[in-house]
Amino acid sequence: MKPLEDIRILAVEQYGAGPFGSVHLADLGAEVIKVEDPSNGGDVGRYVPPYQEGEDSLFFEVFNRNKRSINIDLSTPEGRQVFEDLVRVSDVVYSNLRGDVPAKIGITYDDLKHLNPKIVCCALTGFGMTGPRAKEPGYDYVLQGMAGWMDITGEPSGPPTKSGLSLVDYSGGLVAAISILAGVHAARRDGVGMDCDVSLFDTAISMLTYPAIWNLNGDFEPVRTHNSAHPSLVPFQAFQTSDSWIVVACPKEKFWQRLGDVMERPDLVTDERYATFADRRRNAGELIPILEEIFASRTEEEWLRLLRAAGVPCGPVNTVSQALADDHTIARGMVVETEHPVFGTVRQVRSPVRVGAPVTDYRRAPQRNEDAEYIYSEMLGYDVERIERLTAGSKEEVASEGMSK
Task: Give the active site residues.
Answer: 169
- Crossing angle of helices 300-310/253-262, nearest 10°? 130
CA-wise closest residue to 338 among 359, 366, 362: 362
* CA-based torsion, 363, 31, 167, 49: positive or negative: positive
Task: Give the C-alpha separation, 292 to 226, whole Å.
Answer: 12
Task: Give the C-alpha separation, 118 to 6, whole Å.
Answer: 14
According to DSSP, the β-strands at 52-53 and 56-57 are: antiparallel
Task: Give the C-alpha separation, 232 to 83, whole Å.
Answer: 52
Amino acid making up residue 299: T
Helix, strand, or coil here: 30?
coil
Task: Give the C-alpha separation, 64 to 33, whole Å.
Answer: 10
**Are 132 and 47 in contact, with CB atoms under 8 Å apart?**
no
